[in-house]
């Protein structure tokens, strides 16, 4: 059965880059969101198994989304894909429950390793 | 900018710049041993003749510095990167970095910070478009005593277009604003559009 996946990034290019980085063997139903508010609306209204989450976004940033996911006890895996690559930021998102921290522009091989590591493919 | 670039091209350029900014912020954070709050930089492409007037208000009542660095890459990619600083901000950074406050070390500090920010940013941008750049040594065009607007006018005069990148670095205890201008020749827009279209076609 396909895994419901949400790609959240304010950049259309970045959303396309993530989508194209996913291996063909990954059976996913992909939804997209352009900011954190849109992402939370989707996460609160339907089951999402995995979120690819950008950090620097208008309206509500990725940190805000992670905090809300934690607070509401939403059941989903989160992989952060970020241009902000400071070690401090990586530590912060890990503490907030993100599975992994991937640098932009996303590297397909690294993404596959992470998806395998968590049994998603 | 919207008249020059399509919405898709603009989005693509913005994302390339965001990634390059992320690299520069990380470098700055490591250099200053602090955390840098990263904001999405506003970008705008303008006629370079408009530049002095646009910055007059922000820099006329403050001590400011202007550091310039030329860059040259493949496929006709060339230009001049200018970083404008308000000196009161720069002094706080100088103190964090352990520079003396005399004017000789101020110049040294400005060129150091510029080379961290500009070179890291431009290399990050070039990497993403499979280009590589070489640079001229950074030059401090003006600081305190000289008029920023005059220095801008002289420099901008040599180029047709300017890509304005409005950068704001919020450090944990300090805020540090600077403006980056990429001055480029008129024909560069066509090259940039081609590069953006090539990337867009891949996705």
Distance from CA of B22 to the nearest CA of A (A): 5
- Residue B185 and residue B161 in contact, taking contact as beta carbons nearer than 8 Å: yes
3-class SS of residue A110: helix
Nearest one of B169, B6, B181 to B82, comparing CA atoms: B181
Name chain A contacts of B40, Cβ cutoff 8 Å: 10, 56-58
Residue with tokens 């603009």: B10
- Residue A82 and residue A102 in contact, taking contact as beta carbons nearer than 8 Å: yes
Q: How confident is the model at residue A77 (pLDDT cuts 50, 70, 90)?
A: very high
Task: Please give the tally of structural domains in chain A.
Answer: 1
Range of the domain at A47: 3-117
pLDDT score at B113: 80
Q: Is pLDDT at A59 greater than 70 in this prediction?
A: yes
pLDDT tens-place string over residues B131-174: 999 999 888 876 665 577 788 888 888 888 888 887 777 777 67
Tell me the pLDDT of chain A averaged across its residues.
Answer: 96
What domains are defined for chain B? 7-202 (3.40.1550.10)
Q: Is pLDDT at A69 greater than 70 in this prediction?
A: yes
Which residue positions in chain B have pLDDT lower than 50? 2
Q: Is pLDDT at A11 greater than 90 in this prediction?
A: yes
- Residue B25 and residue A84 in contact, taking contact as beta carbons nearer than 8 Å: yes
Kindly state the average pLDDT of the residues A21-42: 96
Given an 8 Å threshold on Cβ–Cβ distance, is B203 in contact with A104?
A: no
Q: Read off the tokens for B143.
A: 């600081």
**For chain B, percent of residues with pLDDT exceeding 70:** 93
Cβ neighbours of residue B108 closer than 8 Å, sequence gap 6 or more: B99
User: The domain spanning residue A85 has which CATH number?
Assistant: 3.40.50.2300
- B170 contacts chain A (CB < 8 A): no
Q: Is pLDDT at A35 greater than 80 in this prediction?
A: yes
DSSP state of B138: P
């Amino acid at each position: 059965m396909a895994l419901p996946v949400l790609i959240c990034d304010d950049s259309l290019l970045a959303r396309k880059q993530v989508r194209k980085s996913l291996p063909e063997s990954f059976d996913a139903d992909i939804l997209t969101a352009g900011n954190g508010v849109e992402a939370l609306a989707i996460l609160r209204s339907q089951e999402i198994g995995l979120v690819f989450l950008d950090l620097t976004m208008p309206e509500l940033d990725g940190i805000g989304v992670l905090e809300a996911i934690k607070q509401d006890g939403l059941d989903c895996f989160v992989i952060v894909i970020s241009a902000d690559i400071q070690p401090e930021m990586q530590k912060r998102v890990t503490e907030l429950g993100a599975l992994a921290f991937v640098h932009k522009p996303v590297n397909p091989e690294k993404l596959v390793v992470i998806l395998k590591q968590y049994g998603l493919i | 900018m919207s008249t020059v670039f399509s919405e898709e091209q603009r989005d693509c350029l913005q994302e390339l710049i965001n990634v390059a900014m992320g690299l520069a912020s990380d470098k700055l954070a490591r250099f200053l041993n602090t955390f840098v709050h990263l904001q999405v930089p506003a970008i705008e492409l303008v006629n370079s003749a408009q530049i002095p007037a646009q910055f007059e208000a922000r820099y006329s009542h403050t001590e400011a510095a202007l550091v310039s660095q030329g860059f040259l890459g493949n496929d006709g990619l060339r230009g001049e990167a200018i970083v404008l600083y308000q000196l009161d901000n720069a002094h706080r950074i100088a103190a964090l970095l352990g520079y003396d406050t005399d004017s000789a070390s101020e110049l040294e500090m400005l060129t150091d910070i510029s080379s961290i920010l500009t070179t890291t940013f431009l290399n990050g941008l070039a990497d993403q478009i499979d280009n590589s750049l070489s640079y001229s040594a950074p030059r401090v065009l003006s600081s305190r005593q000289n008029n920023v607007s005059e220095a801008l006018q002289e420099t901008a005069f040599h180029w047709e277009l300017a890509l304005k990148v409005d950068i704001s670095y919020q450090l944990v205890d300090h805020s540090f604003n600077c403006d980056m201008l990429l001055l480029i020749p008129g024909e560069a827009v066509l090259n940039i559009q081609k590069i953006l279209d090539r990337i867009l076609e891949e996705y």
